Amino acid sequence: MGKDAFDRRSFLKGAAASAAAVLSTQLAANAPAEGAESNSDSGEKPASRDKIIGRPGSDYMVDVIKATGMEYIASNPGSSFRSLQESIINYGGNKKPEFLTCTHEESSVAMAHGYAKVAGKPMGIAAHGTVGLQHAAMAVYNAWCDRVPVVLFAGNFLDANTRRPGVEWYHCVQDPAALLRDFTKWDDQPVSLQHFAESVMRGYKIATTPPMGPVLITADGDLAEEAVHDEKKLRLPKLTMTIPPQGDSGAVTEAAKMLAAAQNPVILADRACRSQEGMKRIVELAEALNAPVADIGGRMNFPTNHYLCRSLDKRSLVGQADVVLMLEVADPWGQFNTISDPHHEYRRLSKPDVKIVHISLGDTLTKANYQDMQRFMPVDLAISGDAQATLPALIEAVKSATSMSQRAAISDRATKLREDHRRMKDRVRTEAAPGWDATPCSTARTSAQLYNLIKNEKWCVAVSSMQWNKNLWPATEYYNFIGGSGGAGQGYGAPAAVGAALANRDKGIVTVSIEGDGDLMYAPGSLWTAAHHKIPLLMIVHNNRAYHQEVMHLQKMASLHNRRMDTAAIGTTIENPNIDYAKLAQSMGVHGEGPINDPAAIGPALSRAMAVVKRGEPALVDIVSQGR
Ligand SMILES: Cc1ncc(C[n+]2csc(CCOP(=O)(O)OP(=O)(O)O)c2C)c(N)n1
Ligand SMILES: [Mg+2]
């Protein structure tokens, strides 16, 4: 071990002598310059061979990370974790975890966010001290709001005695996690390698225990760069995943009785499912009750072509319901009440005597400052438990709670429910029809063309700025849709789609994303990451040359203030000059098509792009589109 490590490092030091190793030569030549980031006049020389550290702490850190099974570390590099990065690459062989080069920390985290939703497990990210974590922050907030696990590592030198003067002080911090503590599940700043090993295992476990969320472990720079002492004493703790909790059996029986006796039961599912198994269970429950299901969409919860799928009728269903079962709903109050915009007038949407059951772990993970818990919603039966884990018991309880006469009444509901489902689907198709040949292209047409292209594939829409896909396409698989950003912080779309596409890459699932032009411009560098790491992704830019949502907000305000509306474009449009997204993509080695104004050109451009995706690379198609 020691000898291998010595050879590896000798190679790096000696690389300048090798004519063939051009990149290594540059690396070696640049080595003093890296130190010069803070010590430009220090005249430091590279360490002499007798000072070489054969087994740095960061090698052990890599052993720990490998033991979690994390396959990737997405990161923008920084000297605070340079030793860890070098160990990942040279000691770990850059495999499991593999270092993914990101052009912004926010993109690293959003990429990990999209990846985790598809892979069903987290990836790591590494952020450079204060500045890296500040860049990462909004994406961490999105993952927190979405209850998605991300394992963050931060570089930092805690010991002031060893910090190099200058930049290292700017980038170090007494408490790295303070910035993110309001929206992470847990953090730690280990001061020994044993402490690091235990904290990574604990952090991974906490991140992946529902309700899931991001955690942050500091990888101290001194600990990483210094030699491992007394390795025999180090113990790598075993990682045991927590089994998600079922709701209390008495409460589940009570809920089943309420549902079996209901005339108009409705199921609202949000962050309920973690897998296809979860979807199967909701179908089983819904069929046992003939209860329509509105999939709120935090996760893929229900097949869109099932006769009980009524997501678009959610409001009217809630209005008529006598019993509503919520499954891990992020905004319970908002399902039963509204505040109008722009007048902020309150209205209740449901009957006053509606009975509400909520199966959720929401209350087990709250912090006081950020308001992602949404407004307080009184319910009749609050069951603390994991929705997916509780469903099997609930299904059994419903079956045994249903009397003969109730069974007959439930079965009688089927015909009308099938008609209602058909009506809902007809309505969407009618809404989608106008403007088929319009220029700029209608979003419904783009959606239909895309579906034609992927309908015979296993497909995943990782991100979509338009609703048509979910409303129009038959989607039966858990991997078809992965929900949204959680916190609606813009800049999520492109990197999250790249992360999702990475997780889908080896499963033969084609990943597509439909990005708002505004959203894409927060993190266009993720296109380069996709090209560099050969991540196949078909990205469509829904290019309305605007932050169109904000255009509409300004129009609303102008109308409220009874003023002119034509100024709503100021500060909200992205034109003059127009951005050429195809060229943007091409500049980063991504196949780029567009801008497409003629709807007839969408199909051929998508086909060309798909051919690129099929050979394992990303492609982008810029479609100039109507507002939303
Ligand atoms: C970080 C952040 N900044 C600003 C906003 C406000 N915001 C919400 S939607 C939106 C527009 C996004 O533009 P685009 O992706 O093109 O979608 P469009 O509204 O045009 O469909 C903005 C700026 C936000 N949600 N997050
Ligand atoms: Mg836009």
Domain ranges of the chain: 1-52, 57-233, 249-365+375-430, 433-624
Question: What are the residue ranges in the chain where pLDDT is below 50?
Answer: 1-22, 24-41
Structure tokens given for 619: 């492609």
Cα of 486 vs centre of ligand 1, distance in Å, is 14
Q: Could you report the per-residue pLDDT of 221-272, keeping only the tens digit for each?
A: 999 999 999 999 999 999 999 999 999 999 999 999 999 999 999 999 999 9
Q: Which atom of ligand 1 is nearest to the CA of 517?
A: 16
Q: Which atom of ligand 1 is nearest to the CA of 519?
A: 15
**264 and 297 Cβ atoms separated by less than 8 Å:** no
Q: How far is the CA of 11 from the CAs of 7, 131, 389, in angstroms?
A: 6, 32, 52
If one residue of 513, 547, 552 were mutated to test the ligand 1 pocket, choosing by the most ligand atoms within 8 A of its CB, it would be 547
Q: Report the first-to-last Cα separation within the chain, whole angstroms.
A: 58
Nearest ligand atom owner, CA of 549: 1
Query: For position 37, what pLDDT does the model report?
Result: 44
Cα of 211 vs centre of ligand 2, distance in Å, is 32
Ion ligand 2, residue ranges at CB < 5 A: 516-518, 544, 546, 548
Cα of 578 vs centre of ligand 2, distance in Å, is 12
Query: For position 46, what pLDDT does the model report?
Result: 63
**15 and 27 Cβ atoms separated by less than 8 Å:** yes
Q: Which atom of ligand 1 is nearest to the CA of 520?
A: 15
In the CATH hierarchy, which fold is given to the domain comprising 57-233?
A: Rossmann fold (3.40.50)
Name which residue sits closest to atom 23 of ligand 1, judged by CA. Answer: 547
Q: How far is the CA of 171 from the CAs of 94, 109, 240, 616, in angstroms?
A: 26, 19, 35, 38
Cα of 297 vs centre of ligand 1, distance in Å, is 19
CA atoms of 618 and 510, how far apart (whole Å): 11
Cα of 488 vs centre of ligand 1, distance in Å, is 8
Query: For position 103, what pLDDT does the model report?
Result: 98
- Domain pair 57-233 / 249-365+375-430, same fold: yes
Nearest ligand atom owner, CA of 623: 2
Compute the chain's Rg from CA coordinates: 27
In the block, which residue shows the tokens 């479609």?
A: 623
**231 Ramachandran zone, left/alpha/beta (phi>0; psi -120 to 50):** alpha
Q: Which atom of ligand 1 is nearest to the CA of 490?
A: 26
Name beta bridge partners: 324.
266, 356
Name which residue sits closest to atom 17 of ligand 1, judged by CA. Answer: 516
Name which residue sits closest to atom 4 of ligand 1, judged by CA. Answer: 490
Cα of 475 vs centre of ligand 2, distance in Å, is 26
**507 and 513 Cβ atoms separated by less than 8 Å:** no
Q: Which atom of ligand 1 is nearest to the CA of 489?
A: 26
Cα of 587 vs centre of ligand 1, distance in Å, is 24
CA atoms of 206 and 216, how far apart (whole Å): 11
- Tell me the whole-structure pTM to 2 decimals: 0.93
**Which among 139, 227, 129 is positioned nearest to 178, based on CA atoms?**
129
In the block, which residue shows the tokens 């004519």?
A: 19
Nearest ligand atom owner, CA of 518: 1
Average model confidence (pLDDT) across the chain? 93
Cα of 548 vs centre of ligand 2, distance in Å, is 5
Cα of 105 vs centre of ligand 2, distance in Å, is 23
CA atoms of 605 and 592, how far apart (whole Å): 9
Q: Which atom of ligand 1 is nearest to the CA of 493?
A: 15
CA atoms of 272 and 278, how far apart (whole Å): 8
Query: For position 158, what pLDDT does the model report?
Result: 97
Environment class of 588 (CB within 10 Å of its CB; exposed 0-12, middle 13-18, buried 19+): buried
CA atoms of 397 and 129, how far apart (whole Å): 51
Cα of 571 vs centre of ligand 1, distance in Å, is 12
Architecture per CATH, 249-365+375-430: 3-Layer(aba) Sandwich (3.40)
Cα of 549 vs centre of ligand 1, distance in Å, is 7
Structure tokens given for 242: 């927590």
If one residue of 464, 490, 551 were mutated to test the ligand 1 pocket, choosing by the most ligand atoms within 8 A of its CB, it would be 490
Name which residue sits closest to atom 11 of ligand 1, judged by CA. Answer: 547
Phi, psi for residue 454 in degrees, rounded to 5: -110, 0
Nearest ligand atom owner, CA of 493: 1
Query: For position 436, what pLDDT does the model report?
Result: 87
Name beta bridge partners: 539.
513, 620
Instruction: Please compute, for residue 350, the number of CA atoms within 13 A of its CA located in the half-sphere on the CB side.
Output: 23
Q: Which atom of ligand 1 is nearest to the CA of 518?
A: 16
Cα of 519 vs centre of ligand 1, distance in Å, is 6
CA atoms of 217 and 202, how far apart (whole Å): 10
In the block, which residue shows the tokens 């307080």?
A: 376
Q: Which atom of ligand 1 is nearest to the CA of 138?
A: 1
Nearest ligand atom owner, CA of 519: 1
Environment class of 348 (CB within 10 Å of its CB; exposed 0-12, middle 13-18, buried 19+): exposed
Query: For position 252, what pLDDT does the model report?
Result: 98
Residues with CB under 6 A from ligand 1: 138, 465, 488-491, 516-519, 544, 546-550, 628
Name which residue sits closest to atom 15 of ligand 1, judged by CA. Answer: 516
Q: Which atom of ligand 1 is nearest to the CA of 522?
A: 1
**593 and 584 Cβ atoms separated by less than 8 Å:** no
Domain 433-624 in CATH 3.40.50.970 = yes
